[in-house]
Amino acid sequence: MAKFEPGHEPIELRESLYQLWKDVNAAFPEGTVNWEGWDHEKLDAKAEKLCRVLGYSNTAELLKAYGYKVEEPLKLDTKSDIDTSELDSILKEFGGFSAENVYLDATEADLRADADKPKPERTDARERDRYAEEIIIEDMEADEDAPARSRKKLPVILACVAVLAVICIVSLILSGKGKNAKEVVPDVPFTESVGTADFEPEIAENEPNLYENSTFYDVEPEPEPTPEQVEDSVSFDDIDSNVLLPEEGSKLATDFDSRSGDTLVYLNVDNVSNQPELVFWGSAIITDGVSDYIQYLKNQDCEIALTKSEQSSPHSGLTVYTTEMKIENNGVSWTVKLDIQDEKYLEYELDMVVPAAN
């Protein structure tokens, strides 16, 4: 019997359940599990561990408890389970046979057929020895003719060597002409590595040197602005003071990207820094940074209502989570929409629509 009803598991088990359902949904997006498509190497260990902890007797029972349909494998009857009485009655009408005797007669017939097959004749030992002697004699005669064949090929070999010698001499002559031609080519005003840093412009006599004291080649590209610099460049003064934004330095605040009118955009799509993780918030799945923001709002006595929670799999390997919520503080409300894509790695975008100050 299950120890916990679905949805009331301990928090520490929800991540393991999420990882299992993620793999199952990727393999069976329609929600119907068949054992032929079940990846035993990948899924058995996870499922068996959760069965032991949650109190399910087998994987099928666990899957059914969480809403999946399971196709049971076909069971084939063994010989001992086959009822041959009806078959016996039919056979008796045609000569008094029984199902068991027919099976035995067929087996004996197969054995007799094998016994009647002609056996391969064994070669006499003296015949084998004679055949081996003939092969050895042929090999010895072939070795005696080898010097004569080599003498016939000698003129061809000498001709090939002569052609190669002529080719080598022509190559040496041409390479010598190339060296002489190289000396005529004027020096190019570039150093060994071609680039702007090594460029040496030619300056004619009595011509002003426009490159002198120039810092054009010393200019370095400006570094990309940090999230803190981006946030500092955006003004939030026109937002209602009752709107509580993510705390400065928090994981969600670090992902602030831009502002467009009354919408603040937070996102993380590069899988490089401040990587998000999935956590449960009631029946919804959100990022850990958003979870910290919700806890901060609760500590400030804000009211939070979940208005939408959806999960879909557009194609195998991709899971999309959409969560919407409404937050209210001192009679002032704002909305949050969170879109998460879980494929090769997690990426998300959070749009926060905030009211302006009165």
Per-residue pLDDT band at 220 (split at 50, 70, 90): low
* Residue 257: pLDDT band with limits 50, 70, 90: very high
Q: Tell me whether residue 222 is in a domain.
A: no
* 212 vs 345: which has the higher pLDDT: 345
Nearest to 243 by CA among 287, 297, 305, 306: 297
Is 100 among the domain residues? Answer: no
Residue ending a domain, among 71, 95, 122, is 71
In this prediction, residue 159 carries a pLDDT of 83
Handedness of CA 154, 156, 161, 165 (dihedral sign): positive
Write out pLDDT tens, residues 111-122. Answer: 555 555 554 444
φ and ψ at residue 73, rounded to 5 degrees? -70, 150
In a domain, 299, yes or no: yes
Q: Are 323 and 285 in contact (CB under 8 A)?
A: yes
Domain boundary among 71, 87, 115: 71
Q: How confident is the model at residue 3 (pLDDT cuts 50, 70, 90)?
A: confident
Altogether, the residues listed in the chain come to a count of 358
Lowest mean pLDDT among 40-54, 126-140, 238-252: 126-140
Percent of the chain clearing pLDDT 70 (strictly above): 61
Percentage of the chain surpassing pLDDT 90?
31
Of residues 282 and 303, more confidently modeled: 303
pLDDT surpassing 50 at residue 104:
no
- Determine the average pLDDT of the residues in 323-328: 96
Paired residues of 353 in beta bridges: 263, 335
Q: Quick check: is 63 in a domain?
A: yes
Highest mean pLDDT among 1-5, 6-10, 48-52, 186-190: 48-52
- Judge whether 42 lies within some domain: yes
Q: Is the predicted pLDDT of residue 197 greater than 50, yes or no?
A: no
261: left (phi over 0), alpha (psi -120 to 50) or beta: left
Helices (H) and strands (E) in the chain, counts: 9, 10
Over residues 131-166, the pLDDT tens digits come to: 555 555 555 555 555 555 556 667 778 888 888 888
**Residue 175 forms part of a structural domain:** no
Q: Give the residue with greater pLDDT, 105 vs 149.
A: 149
Task: Kindly state the tokens that stand for 320.
Answer: 């999309």
Say if 338 falls within a structural domain.
Answer: yes
Which pair of tokens denotes residue 324? Answer: 């919407």
Mean pLDDT, rounded, for 156-180 = 77
pTM for this model (two decimals): 0.40
In this structure, which long-range contacts are made by residues 20-24, counting pairs with CB atoms below 8 Å and at least 24 apart in sequence? 20/46, 20/47, 20/50, 21/66, 22/319, 22/342, 24/63, 24/68
Per-residue pLDDT of 63-98, as tens digits, reads: 898 888 998 765 544 444 445 566 566 555 555 545
Last residue of a domain, one of 71, 93, 117: 71
Mean of all residue pLDDT scores within the chain: 76
Nearest alpha carbon to residue 51 among 38, 30, 65, 34: 65
Domain that holds residue 332: 227-353
Residue 87 placed within a domain: no
The total domain count for the chain is: 2
